Structure 1
Amino acid sequence: MINLIDRPYGQKYNPKETTTRFASGVTGGNKMTIQQISSFAAGEWIAPGAGARNIASAITGDVIASAGNNDLDVQGMLDYARNVGGPALRKMTFHERAKMLKAVAAYLGKHKQAMYDLSFETGATQNDHLIDIDGGIGTMFVFASKGRREMPDGHVYLDGDVEQLSRNGTFLGQHICTPLQGVAVHINAFNFPVWGMLEKVAPTLLAGVPCIVKPATNSCYVTELCVRLMLESGLLPAGAIQLVSGGLGDMLDRLGMQDVVSFTGSAQTAMKLRSNPVILENSVRFVAEQDSLNGSILGPDAQPGTPEFDLFVKEVQREMTTKAGQKCTAIRRIIAPENTVQAVIEALSARLAKTVIGDPRLETTRMGALVSNGQKRDVLEKAGIIGQEAERVFGDPDAFDVEGADAEKGAFLPPMLFHCANPDSAERVHDTEAFGPVSTIMGYRDVDHAIELANKGLGSLVASVITHDPAVARQVALGSGAYHGRLYFNNRDSMKESTGHGSPLPHMVHGGPGRAGGGEELGGVRGVTHYMQRTAIQGSPDILSAIGEKWVPGATEIKADAHPFTRRYGELAIGETMHTAARTVTLEDIEHFANFTGDTFYAHMDDAAAERNPFFPGRVAHGYLLLSFAAGLFVEPNEGPVLANTGLDNLRFMKPVSAGDSIKVRLSVKKKTQRNDEYGEVRWHVTLTNQDDELVAEYELLTMNAY
């Protein structure tokens, strides 16, 4: 037996090899070892023990591993996470945690071939690995990037703008988010042993919360390898992540109000877990992503022969066969115009007939096995229920070819397509999910009818609409948006770059209402805040500035000893302020600017017309003239640590400036964000006031300053 971690990265897998990390039975005369899948608890690896369960290969049906230990010290794991992992993570800033995630993702990327080789035993093909393993690593990279770009290099995340709660601005309000001081328990499904873990781990660790990962036992051996790699990298602080291979025992009975349960799986299991009296009594956060009857609508404009029709058929075929249909986002209900149903059946059946089913390690295989024979039996049972209301028009589970494997011993099934002729009276096709390569097509009369059918699923993770008609897209969004976590629209314009119906992206929310669980995962920083507490703070500008590490107007100013543009990033202090001299704006200035730029808008050039405007007393200065004069008042012209002006945000003009008025500028360091070891972004709060100290304009200036 060899350790797949030591396989040279990128080395091609050969299914004829007799030495793998584990296999069972006799192959080439060598009896293979059943792998013992351990848990990682309180800093130590714990081998399987009492209550361990055997795990079979999806390809052969033979036992290949054992996992589980009823004697795990679950309270010790919770204490270790709360008392060791939590403090270590909270000590780090968001940017430090983001850098950690990026480094871990890079480390996993160097060793992903080992995970590929192991994951074949789950029935997944090489293309499936790209979704699960590469997708999981990519998700970590995205959260690392968003942590650096959208979150502060500090310990408090500011949620929304400052609210003025008093007349003169001495009493303000602000919402902040801080890490929960408990532990996140992640309960994951079998279908994505790597992505399913990393898409939860990334936002959790970025939030500053330790996690305990409990993968589904059927595929936990792949998760275990991924966790081993993460720990072997040495990049995570002690207690940041622990692993339960097997059952959780009574861990959920020991959770409190600072803890989170994040669950992916069946609605039945979710109901059982979230109904735990301790979870209810302690108001433990429970984020659920459950099974759902996702649908795909073929627009009425997408008739046979159009690019949209071909795209629709291709998308459905891909969603039915990728991961052998074992995707929470897979298309379960195909909703097409009544006059296209037969054409869809014929075109889809032709594509499905070309899908090669077999040993997932073979390059010719396009669809591998389900994760286990138990799952195969469950899919057949659910397909039988669907068959009570729909006719199977493609795919016979009793007669299909499998390349390189035994169809009877392995967990193989063909893709099965059903046709429901009466979707309005049907019930089970709208509430029964066969979690495998099974989908049902049904016809609709008009777009409102299509929306009605889509909504019969009572909540899904994703619905897709293939149409080139924006009016159809809008109608579906308004009529069905409340029933789905994501609406995916695609057509000839976007199909070359689209990511696909069934591809949750870390940038966007993944979850859904109703049957889908009611939770939200991913969604960028939104996903991070699931593991944080939103708190309203109220106080003076100085108090809010200190808590949020961001200068609030009205807070104490720090007088600059030198021009702030001569000071390096690390030398600037939050609240450091410069007040400039005043400059008078003349009529000649206004006319010169108008003629020079071509902006001869009447408010600047025609006194009578300007006076008729309710906003102006007469001819006034251009807003952009005022910005230019402001820059002239505060800019230090000589070479220095300011490398570039990268933009301005939140520009507002409050009061017009007429010829003869004067303006002066206050420039304050509002926020600092380090970008790398060479420079950081400085956000300056800029105000322009006139000769009566009235606010004329306000904005935020962004510069990059040498570190």
Structure 2
Amino acid sequence: MREQGLYIGGGWVAAPENRPVADKWTGDIIGTVAVADAAASRAAVDAAARALAAGLPVPERSRALARVGELMGEHAEEFAQLITAETGKPITASRAEVGRAITTVQLSAEEAKRLPGETVPLDAVAGGADTLAFTIPIARGVVAAITPFNFPLNLLMHKVGPALAAGCPVLVKPSDHAPLTAGLLVSLFHEAGLAAGWINLVTGPPDVVVGAWQDDDRVAVITFTGSSKVGWALKAASPRKLHVLELGSNTAMVVADDADVARAARAATDAALGNSGQACVSLQRVYATRGVSERFVAALAALVADTQAGDPRLEGTVVGPLISAEARDRLVSWIDSAVASGARVAAGGSVVDGVLAPTVLVDVPRQSPLVCEEAFGPVVSVVVVDDVAEAIAEVNSADFGLNTSIYTADLAVAMRYARTAEAGSVLVNMPPSFRADHMPYGGVKGSGQGLEGVKYAVADLLQEKLVVLHA
């Protein structure tokens, strides 16, 4: 039973009220979390602004981040069990997330020592003689980090780690579905000796907490991972701030006639069902060319039907409960609507013990929400196309563009897809859900703006200030 307050200015403080947090599978109460008001939200900004004014030398930032990585390793199983309890994520996926988050904070500790700057050859133009010019990296300021439930530790670390590496104090607003995981992480920063005000945790209603931060000019950056609707609304409400937005998608994969069918089907299964399909790069649409579609659907359906769903604490479980009954029921209604419009269920489609079974649909109408919108669950739709050219047109018809992939043995086809697919990342003969924590990661169109990946996130949080010296 965890009782979590707010973390502001280097210490835990109480809030006017608290709310319970329940285990996603059992329904048991596992803790309470503070519900902040606007005054507490402003107090967190006050603390962060004081920290920014005081500064924190690079070696201290790097040491604190490295120490947190060590502490996370010591608490790895505690993190994994807490993630599974709060979100219903299968325990094997929770453990994998903890490992990735440790890598992310280690990368951040190293990146703090490599802040960029460059010399500028002013003597290359008239009037530049006898000058020395260079840029120095300056932290943009206080960063507000707003994170989702689906990767409550690693996505938080992708915001906190680069911000601290860049010299930016952080305000953390975790998802209401996973506040305790964020609290455990913040407690490790406290144990690591991070100076007061450099990380602040505020839990409570988003309109109250984030609203106070949007209206405060001392908050220079809002970094948000979540739905497209919310992300673009944040930007519209505070246009003078820098926004780093990692938003939704309806990820697509193309299977060409010459693809390795078994390999493609295995990749599609993993990409569609990993994390119970609750990831922005979860595979949602497969465009299979006509010559391979029947074999691919048969292989995919067999793998999906054999996937274990249910209790997230069982080692073999791949698909657990969705984050809420409302999310599950929405997907069920989308499946029913698609079937009523002519789609065929090749696997799954039912709800067992409150869990939506892993599902494959074929011949889904192109106007179905399962194709046009973000499903965020263990459902993948297969659409048959005549050729790769048609597949590319279908992929690009979406308003999203995060990751996409193609399975083909033809290098020319792969390169054409890489050049023309509208996405932040194109993967060839790899699942579209792939992400390494140091690679540039971000989307186009409705999928957001800015990049994650520690080095690239740090660059977003720095301004280059030019210094010119004259002899």
Give the TM-score normalised by structure 2.
0.91
CA contact (8 A) 1:389 1:428 kept: no
Larger Rg: 1
Q: For 1:504 and 1:229, how far apart are their aligned partners in 2? A: 26
Amino acid at match of 1:415: P
Residue by residue over 1:321-373, the C-alpha shift from the partner in whole angstroms, topping out at 9 and shown as x without a partner, is 21111111111111111222222211111111111112121223232222232
Question: In the alignment, does 2:227 pair up with 1:261?
Answer: no
Q: For 2:154 and 2:121, how far apart are their aligned partners in 1? A: 37
Cα offset, 1:453, TM superposition: 1.1
Cα offset, 1:192, TM superposition: 0.8
Distance 1:48 1:503, change over 3 A: farther
Q: For 1:382 and 1:47, how far apart are their aligned partners in 2? A: 42
Question: In the alignment, does 2:202 pair up with 1:240?
Answer: no
Structure 1 segment 280-319 matched on structure 2, within 5 A? 280=239, 283-302=240-259, 308-319=260-271
Q: In structure 2, list runs of 5 or more residues that go unmatched.
A: none
Q: For 2:163 and 2:337, how far apart are their aligned partners in 1? A: 39
Residue by residue over 1:367-386, the C-alpha shift from the partner in whole angstroms, topping out at 9 and shown as x without a partner, is 22222323323333444555
Q: For 1:390 and 1:171, how far apart are their aligned partners in 2? A: 72
Amino acid at match of 1:516: S
Question: In the alignment, does 2:363 pair up with 1:420?
Answer: yes
Q: For 1:506 and 1:147, how far apart are their aligned partners in 2? A: 16
Q: For 1:505 and 1:266, how far apart are their aligned partners in 2? A: 22
Question: In the alignment, does 2:44 pair up with 1:77?
Answer: yes
Indicate the residue corresponding to 2:423 in structure 1: 484
Question: In the alignment, does 2:122 pair up with 1:179?
Answer: no
Question: In the alignment, does 2:323 pair up with 1:359?
Answer: no
Residue by residue over 1:251-299, the C-alpha shift from the partner in whole angstroms, topping out at 9 and shown as x without a partner, is 23433276100011111111322221xx12xx11111111111111123
Question: In the alignment, does 2:283 pair up with 1:331?
Answer: yes
Distance 1:287 1:244, change over 3 A: same
Structure 1 segment 560-599 matched on structure 2, within 5 A? none
Cα offset, 1:467, TM superposition: 2.2
Partner of residue 435 from structure 1, selected from 376, 388, 413: 376
Cα offset, 1:465, TM superposition: 1.6
Indicate the residue corresponding to 1:448 in structure 2: 389
Distance 1:399 1:203, change over 3 A: closer
Cα offset, 1:164, TM superposition: 3.8
CA contact (8 A) 1:389 1:420 kept: no
Structure 1 segment 135-534 matched on structure 2, within 5 A? 135-148=100-113, 151=114, 157-159=116-118, 162-167=121-126, 169-171=129-131, 173-180=133-140, 182-234=141-193, 236-248=194-206, 249=208, 250-256=211-217, 259-276=220-237, 279-280=238-239, 283-302=240-259, 308-384=260-336, 386-387=338-339, 391-398=343-350, 400=352, 407-408=353-354, 412-420=355-363, 423=366, 426=367, 428-480=369-421, 483-490=422-429, 500-522=431-453, 524-534=454-464
Cα offset, 1:56, TM superposition: 3.0
CA contact (8 A) 1:211 1:241 kept: yes
Q: For 2:217 and 2:337, how far apart are their aligned partners in 1? A: 40
Cα offset, 1:172, TM superposition: 5.5
Distance 1:159 1:288, change over 3 A: farther
SS in 2 for 1:510: coil
Cα offset, 1:197, TM superposition: 0.5
Cα offset, 1:171, TM superposition: 4.0
RMSD: 2.5
Q: For 1:331 and 1:464, how far apart are their aligned partners in 2? A: 10
Q: In structure 1, list runs of 5 or more residues that go unmatched.
A: 1-21, 23-34, 303-307, 401-406, 492-499, 543-707
Indicate the residue corresponding to 1:67 in structure 2: 33
Q: For 2:333 and 2:74, how far apart are their aligned partners in 1? A: 41
CA contact (8 A) 2:20 2:32 kept: yes
Q: For 2:329 and 2:409, how far apart are their aligned partners in 1? A: 40
Q: For 1:294 and 1:384, how far apart are their aligned partners in 2? A: 21
Give 1 or 2: higher helix fraction.
2
Bigger relative contact order, structure 1 or 2 (CA pairs below 8 A, ≥6 apart): 2
Q: For 1:211 and 1:390, how far apart are their aligned partners in 2? A: 50
Q: For 1:68 and 1:386, how far apart are their aligned partners in 2? A: 42
Distance 1:398 1:502, change over 3 A: closer
Residue by residue over 1:30-79, the C-alpha shift from the partner in whole angstroms, topping out at 9 and shown as x without a partner, is xxxxx4332212333234544x4443322123444443424352221101
SS in 1 for 2:356: coil
CA contact (8 A) 2:346 2:362 kept: no
Q: For 1:328 and 1:508, how far apart are their aligned partners in 2? A: 16
Q: For 1:233 and 1:54, how far apart are their aligned partners in 2? A: 28
Q: For 1:456 and 1:175, how far apart are their aligned partners in 2? A: 42
Cα offset, 1:446, TM superposition: 2.0
Sequence identity of aligned pairs in percent? 26
Residue by residue over 1:484-504, the C-alpha shift from the partner in whole angstroms, topping out at 9 and shown as x without a partner, is 11111226xxxxxxxx53232
- Number of paired residues? 465
Residue by residue over 1:358-415, the C-alpha shift from the partner in whole angstroms, topping out at 9 and shown as x without a partner, is 2121223232222232332333344455556561423444454xxxxxx14xxx2111
Q: For 1:477 and 1:79, how far apart are their aligned partners in 2? A: 46
SS in 1 for 2:172: strand
Indicate the residue corresponding to 2:8 in structure 1: 41
Q: For 2:275 and 2:229, how far apart are their aligned partners in 1? A: 22
CA contact (8 A) 1:139 1:505 kept: no
Amino acid at match of 1:205: L
SS in 2 for 1:158: coil
Q: For 1:162 and 1:525, how far apart are their aligned partners in 2? A: 25
Indicate the residue corresponding to 1:115 in structure 2: 79
Give the TM-score normalised by structure 1.
0.62
Cα offset, 1:210, TM superposition: 0.6
Amino acid at match of 1:108: M
Cα offset, 1:509, TM superposition: 1.4
Q: For 2:271 and 2:35, how far apart are their aligned partners in 1? A: 36
CA contact (8 A) 2:112 2:165 kept: yes
Cα offset, 1:513, TM superposition: 0.9
Q: For 2:178 and 2:219, how far apart are their aligned partners in 1? A: 29
Q: For 1:45 and 1:379, how far apart are their aligned partners in 2? A: 39
